């Protein structure tokens, strides 16, 4: 029986979010809040491990009250319990302060039921850092394994697990002690359509909500803005390069013009397309 | 063992949510299924919400619901290519409690409404499609959804799944709608500064205005266009009979473009920014197209039952009322435990006795009549406009001379008799 | 923490298959610039098994000092072992700025180190600068999925750390005449203390094209509409010996695999020629290819942002233009064969 804790975050859908051109800030109302896609895969992996080895999946998130919706999404995927830590004191946290706060919550969850594995998404689509997972691991003094794209096996009794870590050009097979922290790639699994019973359970589910007071002994200087070594000093829209030359005329004329432009770089083109694999596999 | 509820309501639109709310309030266990990401995400409405029917569900709703503007003025424009004759009524009594109508944005409003039903105890599940009713011994006992382990059971299933109700079709309650029973409406939400709206439409504070547009806006096809004011945006749309679109080989967005660039409409939407584009089907068959709406263990409400009064652009209020009546019927049936068609038929009777049935019966021939005789739009509206133009142009002709010219302009004696007959027919189908 | 005590710019020297990886050399170039501005030394930290010899390379690329931790315990990269060496070195020599390549290893290592040292870490930096007086590192990076650029500061903690994307800064010219100091540090780690073991390393046997090494890339986006579109540009790519890439939309639609995604959350590429076909040019994508030599864009929508970011653009239907272009190359090839 495994107790797995998944760390998740509710994020704006950065694929469709729009900038407010006047204030250079994100117009959060322009995009719906969603469960961070990488975290969804982490929860799905935890649910699969539960199916395989038996056990329980708890999810924890630090965020404002609407983050409850993200927890419900996890219950839809199959998680059992959800914990939201929410408090003004957490505001303005960078990754160091965030990993501290989440660690406190995880420690509290651990006092109720010992934890075998912590799992999270490789990164969030709004912070894009991937730093919080390893940060939590270091604070709990458990091995962090990042970019995991497969869990080969978990052996709770032996206190060991074997996973694959993605490398730039392949993967490595790593054996680790338990408990450990895994941060996962999206490719680790595919999330199936949730069952109706899970949907109903999620719609009815009320997560456990904690404020700073509920977390036991906390060093407040490590929370939120105060506990953040980094600050965002400046924000600006990315440079837009000047426009290119638009080729005019009929399709034929355009193609001919383009072809002659390309022929200026003739030496780059292999005659028979003989790279290892010119083209799509 | 699949879960069982007292009632499953399929579709969290005005009809479904009104039904679920009323049931939940009385302690009935109800499951509200919505196929969209959230209630309202798949719904389109011109934008007018009728206070009375909504208050029948939630008294004083406007104090906290996300409504746009209370409507104080209703205008009616009869359009020709370059002219319009407009009637309007504006009343301050509509600008204060109890109010008459409001404009709403469906996505916002429906979510709030559904949340209210959840507050009362309904269980709302989104992103889930009900594929068919589960029928046992000729009785509807539940619903099969598209999710794994997706069968769910109830004493009664309420079909509130809209104009294209798959479930009503699957039960054989009606066949595919014919093109002359359905209208296609397209609409855009145009962003416009609050102050500009108030200036342009002659409003004070949060008041609102609706403009219904007939005639050239639909190029002679039976239909209407509309322009409504929201807090900081305008809804502009046009809806026409599907049969008309097919016959005249027109695409709906082409029609909308035509309306937006029409000289009588253009100035209203100057300086707006397109925010959203929506399209939807509207049931237009009215009374004559109403399908079977009661069965063993099943009721049909709202657009799924073709309850739209096109002439008065009323649909959502009928939907809500039907949802409430359905809920009340079910609550009564619970005391006897009889959910057979015979027992539930009380719903149909009450519905037909209410304003819903009355209005549908009243206008049962109207849509068809005006569709059959396009000259009401194609000829008479231009005629009225021409007459008005002539009458009010001061060009030195004597008023009597003008009247004579206008009367002559109508045509021969035969034409005039035809007009008289047409007016009489119109009166007959409308009365 | 006394900030004054921290001095010097450091670069983590990642290595693979007996050579220092390109991004680390690039960082030495950037580090040199920062060090000159601050008037402080530039050092590298090299951790591995039998890697002493690489220190000379680092010096040839600009490092004045290289701290070496050479031991079999570092044979494979593992967070727990490398992290201990880095922390020991930092605590001993106190750098003010510490840069890592934003590679799988670099990000993994830096995240762990930053937590233990309770200092600030900026991820995926694309622009670096330092204030000569205050010594503040200005690490700028795309944020919110690439929708904005943000400059991050770490005011009160040291070292100021950043992981930096490959190919955004340039390495210095290799100069074997450069001299520097190599300091071998003692290693006091025991294998029993490290809780992970690398059992195996599996490299892709089919040498998967490294998009970031390709000279020509033909990339397709949402506008291609499906796998068929990608087959079409694949044909074109084959003709001209190009590698195929895709936008995030295309990858998420399943028309092409993730390893070929170009952009903020994919690969950054700087080919000599980049074809953006049916790609709208969202910021997330531009961030991954805007430094390409020659950018050609083909899109049906004349308002597509990609046309602001390309050198030459064609407003047209890819399904018409690309086959015609392919045919043009075919013809040229036939001519050559005929006359060749």
Question: Given CB atoms, is C331 within the 8 Å cutoff of chain A?
Answer: no
C217 plus C294 within the same structural domain: yes
Q: β-pairing, B223-229 with B233-241?
A: antiparallel
Output the 3-class SS for chain C: CCHHHCCCEEEEECEECCEECHHHHHHHHHHHHHHHHHCCCEEEEEEECCCCCHHHHHHHCCCCEEEEEECHHHCCCCHHHHHHHHHHHHHHHCCCEEEEECCHHHHHHHHHHHHHHCCCEEEEECEEEECCCCCCEEEEEEECCCCEEEEEEECCCCCEEEEECCCCCCCCCCCCCCCCEEEECCCCCCHHHCCEEEEEEEECCCCCCCHHHCCEEEEECHHHCCHHHHHHHHHHHHHHCCEEEECHHHHHCCCCCHHHEECCCCECCCCCEEEEECCCCCHHHHCCCCCCCEEEEEECCCCCHHHHCCCEEEECCHHHHHHHHHHHHHHHHHHHHHHC
C165, C193, C221: which is the final residue of a domain?
C193
pLDDT at position C208 is 62
Q: Which of B155-164, B420-429, C68-77 has the lowest mean pLDDT?
A: B420-429
Whether residues C141 and C281 share a domain: the answer is: no
Residues of chain C contacting A279 with CB distance shorter than 8 Å: 234-235, 237-238, 244
Across A215-235, average pLDDT: 92
Residues of A in contact with C308 (CB under 8 A): 240-244
pLDDT for C334 equals 81
Does B151 score more than 60 pLDDT?
yes
Least confident of A62-76, A135-149, C121-135, C298-312: C298-312
pLDDT at B90 exceeding the cut of 70: yes
Q: Please report the pLDDT score of residue C206 as a whole number.
A: 66
This prediction has a pTM of: 0.83
Angstrom distance (rounded) from CA A92 to CA A225: 4
Q: Which residues of A touch C108 (CB under 8 A)?
A: 134, 144, 146-147
A167 touches C: beta carbon within 8 Å? yes
d(CA B201, CA B236): 14
Give the mean model confidence (pLDDT) for residues A251-276.
Answer: 73
Mean pLDDT, chain C, as a whole number? 91
Residue B234 forms beta bridges with which residues?
A: B190, B229
- The pLDDT value given to residue C147: 72
In this predicted structure, what is the pLDDT of residue A281?
Answer: 31
The class that CATH gives domain B4-66+105-175+288-353 is: alpha beta
Mean pLDDT for chain B overall: 88
Q: For the residues B207-224, what does the mean pLDDT come to? A: 84
Mean pLDDT of the A153-182 span: 95
How many distinct structural domains can be found in chain C? 2
**Nearest residue of chain C to residue A247 (CA atoms):** C314
- pLDDT (mean) for A20-42: 81
The sign of the torsion formed by the CA atoms of B120, B125, B126, B131 equals: negative
Q: Are residues C232 and C94 in the same domain?
A: no
Using a CB-CB cut-off of 8 Å, the residues of chain A touching C104 are 146-147, 165-168
Q: What is the 3-state secondary structure (H, E, C) of B132-144?
A: EEEEECCEEEEEE
Q: What is the pLDDT of residues B14-56, one digit of tens each?
A: 999 999 999 999 999 999 999 999 998 888 777 889 898 899 8
Residues of B in contact with A75 (CB under 8 A): none
Give per-residue pLDDT as tens, A99-136. 999 999 999 999 999 999 999 999 998 888 999 999 99
Of the candidates C305, C243, C236, the one whose C-alpha atom is nearest the C-alpha of residue C272 is C243
At C216-266, the pLDDT tens digits run 999 999 999 999 999 999 999 988 889 999 998 899 888 998 889 998 778
From residue A80, how far is each of A5, A72, B45 by CA, in Å? 10, 10, 39
Check residue A16 and give its pLDDT.
67
Min Cα separation A4/chain B (Å): 24
C81 and C127, same domain (yes or no):
yes
All structural domains of chain A, each given as residue ranges with its CATH number in brackets, are 2-222 (3.40.50.620)
The three-point CA angle B225-B226-B232 to 5° equals: 145
Q: Which of A143, A258, A268 sits opposite C325 (nearest CB)?
A: A258
Residue B140 has pLDDT above 70, yes or no: yes
Residue A278 contacts C, CB cutoff 8 Å: yes
Q: Are residues C56 and C168 in the same domain?
A: yes
Chain centroid to Cα C33, Å, comes to: 19
User: Tell me, what CATH number does C224's domain have?
Assistant: 3.40.50.1220
How close C178 gets to chain A, by Cα (Å)?
31
Interface of B with A in 2-61 (CB under 8 A): 3, 31
Question: What pLDDT does C90 receive?
Answer: 97
Q: HSE of C32 in the Cβ direction (CA atoms, 13 Å)?
A: 18
Using the Cβ of A245 and the Cβ atoms of chain C, whether some distance falls under 8 Å is answered with: yes
Confidence of residue A270 (pLDDT cuts 50, 70, 90): low
Rounded to a whole number of angstroms, the distance from the CA of C129 to the nearest CA of chain A is 13
Mean pLDDT across B143-155 = 96
Name the residue in chain A with its Cα closest to that of B130.
A196
Counting as contact any 3 or more CB pairs under 8 A, the partners of A are: B, C
The predicted structure's pLDDT at residue A240:
59
Probe site for chain A from B125, B131, B151 (most A CB atoms < 10 A): B125
Please name the residue of chain C whose CA is at the shortest distance from the CA of residue A167.
Answer: C104
Residue B128 with chain A: CB contacts under 8 Å: 196, 199
Is the predicted pLDDT of residue C97 greater than 60, yes or no?
Answer: yes
Q: Which residues of A touch C121 (CB under 8 A)?
A: 95-96, 129, 131, 230
In a shared domain, residues C168 and C58: yes
What pLDDT, on the 0 to 100 scale, is given for residue A273?
42
User: Which CATH number applies to B180-283?
Assistant: 3.30.9.10
> How do residues B256-286 score in pLDDT, each as one tens digit?
888 999 999 999 999 998 888 888 888 887 7
- Tell me the residue range of the domain where C114 lies: 3-193
The verdict on a CB contact (< 8 Å) between A195 and B147 is yes
Least confident of C30-39, C95-104, C142-151: C142-151
Share of chain A above pLDDT 90, in %: 70
Chain A contact present for B157, CB below 8 A: no
- Residue-level pLDDT at A276: 37
C31 and C152 in a common domain: yes
Task: List CB contacts (< 8 A) between A38 and chain C.
Answer: none
Quick check: A271 pLDDT over 80? no
Residues whose CB falls within 8 Å of the CB of residue B28, separated by 6 or more in sequence, listed in order: B6, B7, B327, B330, B331, B334
Query: Is residue A278 scored above 50 in pLDDT?
Result: no
Distance from CA of A210 to the nearest CA of B (A): 23
* Strongest mean pLDDT among B126-130, B309-313, C203-207: B126-130
Tens of pLDDT, residues B106-122: 888 999 999 999 999 99
Percent of chain A past pLDDT 70, that is, above it, reads 91
**Where is pLDDT greater, at B232 or B394?**
B232
Query: Are C15 and C150 in the same domain?
Result: yes
With pLDDT > 90 as the criterion, what percentage of chain B qualifies?
A: 51
Domain assignment of residue C90, yes or no: yes
Whether A274 and chain C come into contact, CB under 8 Å, resolves to: yes
Predicted confidence (pLDDT) per residue in B318-360, tens digit: 899 999 999 999 999 999 999 999 999 999 999 999 888 888 8
- C-alpha triplet C281, C256, C230: angle, nearest 5°: 75
DSSP B357: H
**Average pLDDT value over all residues in chain A:** 89
Chains B and A are touching, with contact defined as 3 or more CB–CB pairs separated by less than 8 Å: yes
Confidence of residue A277 (pLDDT cuts 50, 70, 90): very low
Classify residue C202: in a domain, yes or no: no
Summarize the confidence of residues B210-221 as an average pLDDT.
83
pLDDT of residue A203: 95
Partners of residue C129 in chain A, C-beta under 8 Å: none
Q: Which of A21, A169, A230 would best serve as a mutation to test chain C binding (most C beta carbons within 10 A)?
A: A230
CB pairs under 8 A between A and C: 294
Residue A86 and residue C81: Cα distance in Å, rounded? 35
Residues of chain A neighbouring C241 (CB-CB closer than 8 A): 268-275, 278
- Check which CATH number belongs to the domain holding C83 and give it: 3.40.50.620
A chain contacts of residue B152, beta-carbon cutoff 8 Å: 196
CB contacts of B149 in chain A (<8 Å) are: 195-197
**Residues of chain A whose C-beta is under 8 A from some C-beta in B?**
192-197, 199-200, 203-204
Mean pLDDT throughout B394-411? 82
CB-based contact B78:B84 (threshold 8 Å): yes
pLDDT above 50: residue A274: no
Contact A269 C329 (CB under 8 A): yes
| C200 in a structural domain | no
Is C319 part of any domain?
A: yes
Judgement on whether residues C146 and C177 belong to the same structural domain of the protein: yes
Measured in Å, how far apart are chain C's first and last C-alpha atoms?
A: 72
Same domain, C12 and C161: yes
C205 found inside a domain? no
Q: Does C242 touch chain A (CB under 8 A)?
A: yes
Q: Do chains C and B touch (3 or more CB pairs under 8 A)?
A: no
- Are the beta carbons of A255 and C324 separated by less than 8 Å? yes
The whole-angstrom separation of Cα C236 and Cα B330 is: 65
User: Which of A123, A145, A189, A229 to mutate: most C Cβ within 10 Å?
Assistant: A229
For residues C311 and C249, state if they share a domain: yes
Q: Is the pLDDT of residue C181 over 90?
A: yes
CA distance B135 to B143: 9
Decide if A128 and C316 are in contact by the 8 Å CB cutoff: no
From the list C105, B176, B275, C298, the residue with the least C-alpha distance to A169 is C105
Out of C193, C221, C246, pick the residue that ends a domain.
C193
A/B interface, count of CB pairs below 8 Å: 33
* Same domain membership, residue C239 and residue C328: yes
What the block records as the tokens of C111 is 């995240």
Weakest mean pLDDT among B291-300, B372-381, C1-10: B372-381
Residue in B closest to A204 by C-alpha: B123
Average pLDDT over residues B166-179: 85
Name every chain B residue with its beta carbon within 8 A of the beta carbon of A195. 147-150
Q: Is the pLDDT of residue B364 over 80?
A: no
pLDDT for residue B356 = 86
- More confident position, B125 or A13: B125
Give yes or no for residue A272 having a pLDDT over 60: no
Q: B48 phi and psi, to 5 degrees?
A: -95, 125
> What is the least distance, in Å, from the CA of C78 to any CA of chain A?
9
Smallest Cα distance from C335 to chain A, Å: 12
Most confident of A140-144, B257-261, C311-315: A140-144
Cβ contacts of A193 on chain B, cutoff 8 Å: 146-148
């Amino acid at each position: 029986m495994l107790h797995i804790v998944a760390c998740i975050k509710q994020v704006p859908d950065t694929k469709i979010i729009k900038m407010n051109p006047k204030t250079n800030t994100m117009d959060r109302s322009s995009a719906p809040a969603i469960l961070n896609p990488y975290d969804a895969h982490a929860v799905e992996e935890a649910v699969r491990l539960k199916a395989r080895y038996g056990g329980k999946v708890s999810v924890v998130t630090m965020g404002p009250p609407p983050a409850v919706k993200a927890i419900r999404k996890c219950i839809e995927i199959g998680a059992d319990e959800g914990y939201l830590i929410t408090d003004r004191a957490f505001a303005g946290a960078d990754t160091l302060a965030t990993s501290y706060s989440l660690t406190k919550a995880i420690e509290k969850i651990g006092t109720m039921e010992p934890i075998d594995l912590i799992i999270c998404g490789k990164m969030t689509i709004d912070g894009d850092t991937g730093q919080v997972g390893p940060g939590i691991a270091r604070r709990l003094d458990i091995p962090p394994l990042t970019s995991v794209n497969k869990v080969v096996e978990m052996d709770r009794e032996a206190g060991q697990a074997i996973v694959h870590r993605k490398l730039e050009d392949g993967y490595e097979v790593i054996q680790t002690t338990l408990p450990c922290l895994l941060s996962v790639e999206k490719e680790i699994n595919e999330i199936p359509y949730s069952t109706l019973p899970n949907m109903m359970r999620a719609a009815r589910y009320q997560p456990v909500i904690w404020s700073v007071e509920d977390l036991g002994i906390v060093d407040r200087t490590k929370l939120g803005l105060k506990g953040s070594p980094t600050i965002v000093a400046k924000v600006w829209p990315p440079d837009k390069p000047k426009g290119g030359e638009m080729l005019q005329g009929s399709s034929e004329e355009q193609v001919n013009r383009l072809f002659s432009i390309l022929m200026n770089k003739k030496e780059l083109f292999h005659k028979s397309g003989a790279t290892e694999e010119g083209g799509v596999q | 063992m699949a879960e069982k509820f007292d009632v499953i309501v399929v579709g969290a639109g005005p009809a479904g949510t009104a039904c679920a709310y009323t049931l939940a309030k009385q302690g009935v266990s109800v499951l509200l299924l919505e196929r969209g990401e959230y209630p309202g995400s798949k719904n389109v409405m011109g934008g007018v919400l009728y206070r009375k029917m909504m208050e029948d569900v939630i008294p004083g709703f406007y104090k906290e619901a996300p409504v746009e503007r209370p409507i104080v003025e209703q205008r009616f424009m009869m359009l020709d290519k370059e002219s319009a004759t407009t009637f309007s009524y504006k009343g301050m009594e509509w600008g204060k409690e109890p109010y008459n109508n409001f404009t709403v944005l469906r996505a916002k409003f429906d979510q709030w409404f559904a949340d209210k039903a959840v507050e009362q105890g309904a269980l709302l599940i989104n992103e889930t499609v009900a594929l068919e009713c589960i029928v046992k011994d000729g009785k509807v006992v539940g619903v099969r959804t598209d999710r794994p382990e997706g069968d769910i059971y109830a004493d009664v299933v309420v079909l509130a799944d809209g104009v294209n109700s798959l479930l009503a079709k699957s039960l054989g309650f009606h066949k595919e709608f014919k093109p002359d029973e359905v209208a296609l409406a397209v609409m855009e939400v145009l962003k416009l500064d609050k102050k500009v709206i108030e200036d342009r439409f002659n409003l004070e504070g949060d008041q609102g205005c609706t403009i219904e547009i007939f005639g050239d806006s639909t190029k002679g096809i039976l239909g209407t266009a509309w322009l409504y004011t929201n807090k900081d945006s305008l809804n502009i749309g046009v809806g026409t009979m599907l049969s008309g679109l097919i016959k005249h080989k027109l695409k709906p967005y082409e029609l909308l473009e035509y309306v937006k660039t029409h000289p009588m409409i253009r100035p209203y939407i100057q300086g707006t920014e397109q925010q959203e584009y929506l399209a939807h089907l509207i049931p237009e068959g009215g009374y004559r197209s109403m399908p079977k709406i009661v069965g063993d263990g099943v009721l049909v409400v709202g657009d799924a039952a073709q309850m739209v009064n096109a002439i008065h652009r009323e649909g959502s209020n009928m939907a809500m009322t039907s949802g409430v009546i359905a809920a009340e019927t079910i609550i009564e049936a619970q005391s006897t435990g009889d959910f057979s068609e015979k027992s539930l038929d009380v719903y149909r009777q009450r519905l037909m006795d209410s304003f819903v049935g009355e209005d549908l019966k009243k206008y049962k021939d109207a849509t068809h009549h005006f569709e059959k005789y396009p000259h009401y739009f194609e000829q008479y509206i231009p005629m009225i406009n021409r007459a008005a133009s002539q009458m009010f142009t001061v060009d030195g002709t004597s008023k009597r001379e003008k009247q004579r010219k206008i009367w002559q302009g109508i045509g021969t004696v035969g034409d005039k008799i035809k007009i008289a007959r047409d007016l009489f027919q119109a009166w007959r189908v409308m009365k | 923490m006394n900030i004054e005590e921290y001095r010097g710019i450091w670069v983590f020297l990642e290595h693979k298959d007996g050579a220092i990886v390109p991004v680390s050399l690039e960082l030495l170039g950037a580090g040199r610039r920062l060090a000159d501005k601050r008037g402080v030394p530039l050092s590298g930290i090299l951790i591995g098994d039998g890697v002493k010899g690489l220190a000379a390379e680092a010096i040839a690329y600009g490092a004045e000092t290289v701290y070496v931790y050479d031991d079999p315990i570092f044979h494979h990269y593992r967070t727990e072992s490398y992290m201990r060496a880095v922390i020991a070195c930092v605590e001993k020599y106190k750098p003010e700025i510490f840069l890592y390549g934003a590679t799988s290893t670099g990000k993994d290592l830096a995240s762990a180190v930053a937590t233990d040292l309770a200092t600030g870490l900026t991820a995926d930096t694309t622009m670096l600068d330092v204030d000569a007086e205050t010594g503040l590192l200005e690490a700028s990076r795309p944020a919110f999925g690439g929708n904005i650029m943000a400059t991050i500061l770490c005011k009160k903690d040291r070292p100021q750390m950043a992981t930096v994307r490959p190919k955004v800064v340039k390495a210095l010219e290799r100069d074997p005449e450069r001299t520097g100091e190599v300091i071998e540090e003692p290693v006091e780690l025991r294998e029993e203390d490290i809780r992970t073991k690398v059992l195996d390393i599996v490299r892709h046997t089919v040498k998967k094209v490294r998009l970031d090494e390709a000279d020509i890339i033909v990339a397709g986006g949402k506008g291609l509409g499906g796998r068929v579109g990608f087959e079409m540009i694949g044909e074109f790519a084959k003709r001209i010996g190009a590698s195929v890439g895709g936008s995030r939309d295309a990858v998420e639609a399943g028309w092409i695999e993730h390893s070929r995604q170009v952009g903020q959350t994919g690969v950054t590429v700087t080919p000599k020629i980049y074809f953006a076909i049916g790609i709208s040019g969202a910021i997330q994508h531009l961030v991954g290819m805007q430094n390409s030599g020659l950018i050609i864009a083909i899109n049906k929508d004349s308002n597509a942002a990609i046309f602001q970011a390309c050198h030459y653009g064609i407003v047209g239907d890819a399904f018409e233009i690309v086959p015609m272009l392919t045919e043009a190359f075919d013809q040229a090839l036939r001519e050559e064969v005929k006359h060749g």
